[in-house]
Structure 1
Amino acid sequence: MEIPVLDDASPSAPRSPRRVRRLLLPLSAGACALALAAGCSGADPAAAPAAPKAVPSGTAQGSVTRDTGDLEAAYQAVINDVLPSVVQIDASDSLGSGIVYDDKGHIVTNAHVIGEEKSFKVTVATGETVMDASLVSSYPEQDLAVIKLDEVPDALKPVKFGDAERVEVGQIVLAMGSPLGLSSSVTQGIVSALGRTVSESRSGGGTGATIANMVQTSAAINPGNSGGALVNLRSEVIGIPTLAATDPQLGDSAAPGIGFAIPVSMVRTVADQIIKDGKVTDSGRAALNITGRTVVDDSYRPAGVALVSVDRGGAADEAGLRAGDIITKIGDSEVTTVTSLSEALAGDKPGDKVTVTYTRGGDSRTAEVTLGEI
């Protein structure tokens, strides 16, 4: 997908086109691409300044202006506070966003933003400085990566992270990044759902990762926002925008107001391990320790996951599963494809016990499996 990137200094004059990786989640009618993994509670009134109230008959217009001004001032304060910590990342043939993680020059972004590249150009929000950076490590399984500036400027400002446990539906949030290469852009919305499990497409440079507990937001998420910041009105980063939804009925165009961000708890878990050890040493992600492929029924509809190989000593092997078995359910969740298998396991942890329903030689069987780790 070729998208012309406008030069901020001359908005009317496009530069040579630069590809912005487009990561979108297909949503099809009747197919549950999203699994609600956790309940959602109401908004915390103390979490953000109140939105402007409806004006009863006879109320002075001045009070409306005052409420509106307070909210605008809150937005502007957050933008001034956080935007200097949001950067644009040029990964050769793609553009994306990143957040300054610490004062040592580490920057966190999405794995799909950096692709296979090892070196990058990083531009701060003010745009006057382009800095070189190198890859520390990428973790495509969670679509996260860490890069590091080759030289750390004195004024580098790390972001402030929020508490994932305090994120609630209805809270006002701002998404900051470089959509379509337009650096230092800000969109506004609310947290519209919590606990979403989504699977990325592998097309367009996607990792194919299945990610649990994502934050759903109505703030506009466009190509180039990936890796940026989803921020509350306390100037705290609560997630990294990663995916926007598409609707096949609209020609796979973006579904307005449905975007997803990796929660801050997972961002910090992965980034801290990469910075400390150069890689993720404890994924916290459950696995059956198998290699599988999707199989179809007589009507050519997906009907399960056939085990191509089973890791010796792994979770499935210990439970007696073997190559050739076809998994059809994990607990109460139907399994029809490799993606639905990943989604069924996304909310579990290593060491959890699950009931696996499978067929062997046409016979349906079950096994209790103690899950391993990716």
Structure 2
Amino acid sequence: MDASLSRALRRVGAAAALVCCLAAGCGSAASQAQQNTGTTAQADSPTAANGLQSDYQKVVKEVLPSVVQIQASRELGSGVVYDGKGHIVTNAHVVGSEKTFKVIAANSEQPLTARLVYSYPEQDLAVIKLDKVPAGLRAAVFGDSEKVDVGQIVLAMGSPLGLSSSVTEGIVSATGRTVSEAGGGTGATIANMVQTSAAINPGNSGGALVNLAGQVIGIATLGAADPDLGGSAAPGIGFAIPASLVKTIAGQIVKHGKVVDSGRAALDITARTVVDERYQPAGVAVVSVKPGGAADKAGLRAGDIITKVAGRPVNTATSLAVALASAKPGQRISVTYQRGGSERTAKVTLGRQ
């Protein structure tokens, strides 16, 4: 090897050594930076957790005094204080057919008495009124259902299993659900319900589903049932009636003593599910038609079997209710039905329930 080549290799070697040295230094610096970042993250994490915990505690402190326990002779549920006059909104299935109730406010063991104002099973809502309004009764603040978003953190407040003033936490896992209370409640079919992962257990019915702004965004109503598990509760799937519907129905009850405008569409018929030769649901038989009602005007009559509504297959009375739940009074839809073995379609302008 000549001298010039030897000197060149030594220079390259020295340069390589320098690069390795710098890389080692950078690695050390990066390691130190990671350690510093980890230290910062560890320092920030408790702060963030404490902030969220503080938000939870603030909401609980603000809203829990507006949530009560309702005791009927056979049912135990929850309710939300609607106004300062002692009106409390709850589920119709909590009050059942009873007229008087015992109410226990949050952080109190002294029962109050209340009477039924009106129950509206069609939307599973009811309003009761305290006989005597205690000092410091706090009305809840109801939020805007249109601003409820999937992923939003929510708290469910009520009396699950009789454990008054209990709070569970979760998120809004879906909106706009149409749910039929086939296995419980009043059997109502309710549109635009809020689905949540917050635990909804027996006794939570009628309680509050609350956002972190301290607003009631729904009335907790029921948990989902898993038919594959014999109808037992499906964990993490609960439903609440949206605040907009609660305000509409409860507001009418407080003002008029009843619901004067449900906002629900109707065919103006009575109906029942029919089955085929294999005993499978095959449609909805029209049992009777209200004279001058929506179906009557469209030419439907008793004995017709409805199989589709607005193009959607309908094979049970429940599926018919679901199809109508999202429709509006005055809306014009197609109804497919069978009469005398032939299929027909009518255009029906929906009435009001």
User: TM above 0.5, one fold?
Assistant: yes
Shift of 1:332: 2.0
What is the CA distance between 1:127 and its match in structure 2?
2.1
Distance in 2 between residues matched to 1:58 and 1:233, nearest whole Å: 30
Specify the alignment match of 2:271 in structure 1.
Answer: 292
**Aligned AA (1:88):** Q
Residue from 258, 273, 298 that aligns with 1:319: 298
Read off the aligned partner of 1:341 and give its amino acid letter: L
2:173 counterpart of 1:192: yes
CA RMSD of aligned residues (A): 1.2
Higher mean C-alpha displacement, 247-256 vs 190-199:
247-256
User: Relative to 1, partners in 2 of residues 1:155 and 1:322: Cα closer, same or farther, differing over 3 Å?
Assistant: same
| Alignment partner, residue 42 of structure 1 | none
Find 1:110's aligned residue among 84, 88, 91: 91
Residue 163 of structure 1: CA displacement?
A: 0.9
Alignment correspondent of 2:351: 372
Q: How far apart are residue 128 of structure 1 and its match?
A: 3.0
How far did residue 56 of structure 1 move? 6.9
Counterpart selection for 2:232 from 253, 273, 280: 253
Q: 195, 215, 221: which one pairs with 1:236?
A: 215
Q: What is the DSSP-based 3-state SS (H/G/I as helix, E as strand, rest coil) of the residue aligned with 1:128?
A: coil
Q: For 1:169 and 1:317, locate their aligned partners in 2 and report how far apart those are by CA, in whole Å.
A: 41
> Aligned letter for 2:314?
V
What corresponds to 1:169 in structure 2? 150
| Number of matched pairs | 318
In the TM superposition, structure 1's runs of 4+ consecutive aligned residues that sit over 6 Å from their partners are: none
Please point out which of 274, 281, 286 is paired with 2:260. Answer: 281
Cα distance in 2 for residues equivalent to 1:364 and 1:127: 62
* Pairwise CA distance, 1:333: 1.2
Alpha-carbon distance in 2 for matches of 1:282, 1:318: 21
Secondary structure in 2 matching 1:207: coil
1:201 paired residue among 174, 178, 182 = 182
The code of the aligned residue for 1:81 comes to E
Aligned partner of 1:269 in structure 2 is 248
Q: Would you tell me which structure has more helix in proportion to its own residues?
A: 2
Residue 297 of structure 1 deviates from its aligned partner by 1.1
Percent sequence identity is 69
Give the SS at the match of 1:258: strand
Counterpart selection for 1:342 from 292, 317, 321: 321
CA distance in 1, matches of 2:239, 2:311: 25
What residue is the counterpart of 1:78 in the other structure? Answer: 59
Distance in 2 separating the partners of 1:338 and 1:207: 15
1:288-317: CA deviations, max 9, x gaps?
A: 000111001121110100001000000000
Structure 2 unpaired stretches of 5+: 1-35
Of the candidates 90, 98, 105, which is equivalent to residue 124 of structure 1?
A: 105
Q: Which protein has the larger Cα radius of gyration, Structure 1 or Structure 2?
A: 2
> What is the CA–CA distance in structure 2 between the aligned matches of 1:293 and 1:188, rounded to whole Å?
40
- Structure with larger RCO (C-alpha < 8 A, sep 6+): 1
Q: Match for 1:330 among 299, 309, 331?
A: 309
Query: Alignment partner of 1:257: what SS?
Result: strand
- Aligned in 2, Cα 1:191/1:373: closer, same or farther, shift over 3 Å? same
Structure 2 length as normaliser, TM-score?
0.88
- The match for 2:115 among 134, 144, 147 is 134
Q: Tell me which residue corresponds to 1:146.
A: 127
Deviation of 1:248 (Å): 1.8
TM-score normalized by structure 1?
Answer: 0.84
SS of the aligned residue for 1:93 comes to coil
Q: Deviation digits for residues 216-259 of structure 1, max 9, x if unmatched?
A: 00000000000000000000000000010011222322111100
